[in-house]
Amino acid sequence: MREDRRRWLRRLLILPPLALGVALVAWQIGGRQAPEVLPEREMVRPARVVTVEAVDFTPRALAYGTVAPATVTNAVAEVSGRILYRHPELESGNVLPAGTVIFRIDPATYALAVSRLEAQVASAQADLAELEVREANARGSLAIEQRAAALAEEDLQRQRTLLARGTASQASVDAAEQQALTTRQRVQDLENTLALIPVQRQALDAGLAVDRAQLEEARLDLERTELSLPMDARIAEVNAEESQFVSVGETLAVADGIDRAEVTAQIAPDQFYPLMAGLDIDVSEMTVEEMGDLRDRIEMTAEVRLAIADFVARWPGRVNRIRETVDPQTRTIGVVVTVDQPLRNAIPGVRPPLTKNMYVEVALTGMTLPGRIVVPRVAVHLAADGQETLYLVGEDGRLTIRPVEVAFVEGNLALVADGLEPGARVIVSDLIPAIDGMLIDAVEDEALAAELRDAAAGEGPIR
């Protein structure tokens, strides 16, 4: 019994704390206010924007190519023979002035040929002079014989008259007739001789012309025994030595002109065509002459660059021409840029000589397009249907998704051709998701706007 009483007493001891806890909870609940119900508020998305404006846009692009001399001369032997002389400075890499004789081939054989043909020409000229004298003599003899023939005819007529009167014999008539026939024959011979003289003169003239042509050819061969540089040049290759026998057509040396260097800069078509956007022409209606003058209408400038250590060497260049085809390997267009005096314009420590086979960068600048609208490239989005769009902030501060037409993209810029007016606020931040009509807290990005204007004006690095 005693144990049972103790168990009940222990159970009763839990009741006072439990009652106290229940009372405390009831007191807290009874003194608390009901939760406040707030009105719905629309979510606002922060975003950076730039206000677009019409600016003058100067398209630029980077291209790359290898330096090559604009003119290359191959010293080819036009006559055969043994080399008697080779210029002592004729070595690869040396620079020699125009007119320098670099090789001299033994001229003896060609000098003898000139002497022989000069003698042939003199002989032909002497034959012509003799023919002139013979013609003059024949004409003089013809005049005499014609007079003698006339006298013989008169004598024959007289003898025939006397025979008719009976005062002359038949023998005297026959003798007079024989004399008349003889003089006629001499006149005929002289006339035949004079008739042949023009043909003989023509043959002699033709022979003289052949001799003179052969003489000129021999003199040219004699001149060709000396090979000289037609321009200031840097020797690229030497293939012959003194005392060596060379044949016609053999290349003895190769020289590169130093007055101009060319770089065929390869550029992708989508980068090239914006450079030509300011050229408003219709090629389909141009004549061949106008197409030939098209190069002068392309207002494109170029600068050749070479990165050396921690600085960049620069050379001013000019666009000379556009290559006629697209490279089948790289699918790029070749723009030929010319640099004048690539060696003479070298500055020690600043600009080295522009040497053959250097791989260089070419910065091309096209014609300025006035009053164009440009936006950051990152602001252009593609809709599900492939339409290019911009996210704009309207006057009510809400997002408007605007379809636009982008003419082309250059680096970090996109030139908008249609669908956007100056003064529009373009969102340049990423909005995920972008819901048309959503409320935007727009913050002007002044730094990006300034960078955009500089890039459009052709300032700063080309990206």
Fold for the domain defined by 109-223: Four Helix Bundle (Hemerythrin (Met), subunit A) (1.20.120)
pLDDT for residue 10 = 61
Are 406 and 382 in contact, with CB atoms under 8 Å apart?
Answer: no
Q: What is the CATH number of domain 48-57+370-456?
A: 2.40.420.20
Closest to 149 in 3D by CA, of 181, 196, 191: 181
pLDDT reported for residue 367: 85
Statement: residue 294 has pLDDT above 70? no
In the chain, what percentage of residues exceed pLDDT 90?
Answer: 40
Residue 463: pLDDT over 80: no
Residue 410: pLDDT band with limits 50, 70, 90: confident
**CA gap 391, 22 in Å, rounded:** 61
Q: At what angle do helices 108-165 and 170-223 cross, to 10 degrees?
A: 170
Residues of the chain within CATH 2.40.30 domain(s) are 260-367
Q: What is the pLDDT of residue 9?
A: 57
Residue 284 has pLDDT above 60, yes or no: no
What per-residue confidence (pLDDT) applies to 153?
A: 85
Alpha-carbon 155 to chain mean position: 92
Around Cβ 20, how many Cβ atoms within 10 Å?
9
Domain with CATH 2.40.50.100 in the chain: 71-105+225-257
Measured CA to CA in angstroms, residue 203 lies from 47, 215, 406 at distances of: 101, 18, 80
Q: What would the mean pLDDT of 116-135 be, rounded to a whole number?
A: 91
Given phi > 0 = left and psi -120 to 50 = alpha, else beta, which region is 417?
alpha
- CATH 2.60.40 given to domain 260-367: no
Q: For the chain, give me the number of helices (H) and strands (E)?
A: 8, 24
Starting at the edge strand found earlier in the chain, the sheet holding 101-105 runs 226-228, 101-105, 81-86, 245-246
| Mean pLDDT in residue range 323-335 | 86
Is residue 365 pLDDT above 80, yes or no?
yes
Between 250-259, 275-284, 429-438, the lowest mean confidence (pLDDT) is in: 275-284
Span(s) in the chain for CATH 1.20.120: 109-223
Residues 267 and 333: beta-carbon distance below 8 Å: yes
Higher confidence at residue 308 or residue 446? 446
User: In the chain, where does the domain assigned CATH 2.40.420.20 lie?
Assistant: 48-57+370-456
CB-CB contact of 174 with 187 (8 Å): no
Q: Where are the strands (E) in 195-259, listed by range? A: 226-228, 233-238, 245-246, 251-257
For residues 128-150, give the mean pLDDT.
88
Could you read off the pLDDT of 370-384 as tens digits, one per residue?
889 999 999 999 988
Out of 2.40.50.100, 3.40.640.10, 1.10.8.60, 1.10.3720.10, which CATH number does the structure's domain 71-105+225-257 have?
A: 2.40.50.100
Alpha-carbon gap, residue 374 to 407, rounded angstroms = 10
List the beta bridge partners of residue 74.
254
Give 38's DSSP letter: P
With cut-offs at 50, 70 and 90, classify the pLDDT of residue 97. very high
pLDDT at residue 461 tops 60: yes
| pLDDT beyond 60 at 257 | yes
* Listed range (343-352, 368-377, 434-443) with the worst mean pLDDT: 343-352
Counting residues of the chain whose pLDDT is more than 70, the rounded percentage is 86
- pLDDT over threshold 80, residue 179: yes
With 0-12 / 13-18 / 19 or more C-beta atoms within 10 angstroms meaning exposed / middle / buried, residue 308 is exposed
Residue 299 pLDDT more than 80? no
Query: What confidence category does residue 304 fall into, taking pLDDT thresholds of 50, 70 and 90?
Result: very high
Over residues 421-425, mean pLDDT: 92
Question: Which range among 128-137, 292-301, 433-442 shows the weakest confidence by mean pLDDT?
Answer: 292-301
pLDDT of residue 91: 93
